[in-house]
């Protein structure tokens, strides 16, 4: 819940700042529109993760009370685990999408390359941390990232889970849901920092352009005044 509130605040902060950006990227959406879309998706997935985590926890609690995981309860739990696999994959894609946005901005504004490189490295570190966290939880149930890429693949992997391993699978799923929600909160912070940094750079570029235009106007005015003075006093 705290992660969702934080992400909602980030989205509210990003929206009014959109006018600081300029330029249209591939797909017809401007940079601020793409960043806001990214933040909106982060919020949506975080909310879905909170719901899925709660559903897995409910199945886990029921299994604890029954002291085993009957087939009917396991069918419900495995469905939630499949949904979790989809959300985890989508969260990973969001990180790659944010990194691509940073790369596109750097290509459009080469002068931003130093800051852009630092931002992309932060996204790479986030991706590594995310993958390591999920992989670490999966190892507890003898699963790999390759077996947890989407709902169909996950269901195929766990449908024959022995009764003795079902409870552990639910516990691992709960851990992954919590980890992914936390990682999404961190991704939201990175996206907000990216938006702020890029907005400041474009404002600086806009101010520099305005100053150059004013200097050019002043120079032309001085030249015109000097020429006019010569015309008015041809004998001097």
- Torsion, Cα 66 84 158 153, to 10 degrees, reads 160
**pLDDT value for 153:** 66
Spatial distance between the Cα atoms of 125 and 122, rounded to a whole number of angstroms: 5
Answer whether residue 6 shows pLDDT above 80.
no
**DSSP characters for 208-229?**
HHHHHHHHHHHHHHHHHHHHHH
Spatial distance between the Cα atoms of 45 and 182, rounded to a whole number of angstroms: 11
Spatial distance between the Cα atoms of 178 and 165, rounded to a whole number of angstroms: 20
For 30, 36, 41, 43, 195, the CA distances from 8, given in Å and listed in that order, are 21, 11, 11, 7, 15
**pLDDT value for 219:** 44
Element (H, E) at 44: helix 31-66
**For the residues 154-169, what does the mean pLDDT come to?**
74
Q: What is the pLDDT of residues 135-159, one digit of tens each?
A: 888 887 677 666 666 666 676 666 6
Q: How much is the mean pLDDT over the chain?
A: 76
Domain ranges of the chain: 2-232
Quickly state the pLDDT bin for 8 (edges 50, 70, 90).
Answer: very low
More confident residue, 31 or 34: 34
Q: How many Cβ atoms from other residues are within 10 Å of residue 165's Cβ?
A: 15
User: Tokens 């024959």 — which residue?
Assistant: 160
**pLDDT value for 146:** 67
Quickly state the pLDDT bin for 177 (edges 50, 70, 90).
Answer: very high
């Amino acid at each position: 819940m705290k992660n969702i509130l934080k992400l909602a605040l980030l989205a509210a902060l990003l929206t009014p700042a959109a006018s600081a950006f300029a330029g249209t990227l591939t797909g017809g959406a401007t940079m601020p529109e793409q960043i806001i879309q990214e933040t909106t998706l982060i919020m949506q997935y975080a909310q879905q993760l909170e719901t899925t985590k709660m559903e897995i926890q409910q199945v886990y609690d029921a299994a604890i009370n029954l002291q085993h995981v009957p087939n009917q309860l396991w069918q419900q739990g495995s469905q939630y685990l499949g949904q979790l696999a989809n959300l985890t994959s989508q969260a990973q894609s969001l990180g790659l999408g944010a990194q691509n946005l940073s790369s596109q901005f750097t290509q459009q504004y080469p002068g931003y390359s130093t800051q852009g490189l630092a931002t992309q490295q932060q996204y790479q570190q986030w991706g590594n941390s995310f993958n390591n966290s999920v992989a670490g939880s999966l190892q507890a149930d003898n699963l790999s990232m390759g077996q947890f890429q989407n709902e169909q693949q996950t269901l195929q992997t766990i449908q024959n889970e022995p009764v003795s391993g079902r409870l552990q699978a639910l516990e691992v799923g709960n851990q992954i849901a919590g980890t992914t929600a936390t990682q999404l909160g961190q991704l939201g912070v990175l996206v907000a920092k990216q938006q702020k940094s890029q907005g400041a750079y474009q404002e600086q570029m806009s101010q520099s352009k305005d100053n150059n235009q004013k200097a050019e106007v002043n120079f032309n005015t001085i030249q015109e005044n000097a020429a006019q003075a010569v015309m008015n006093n041809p004998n001097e």
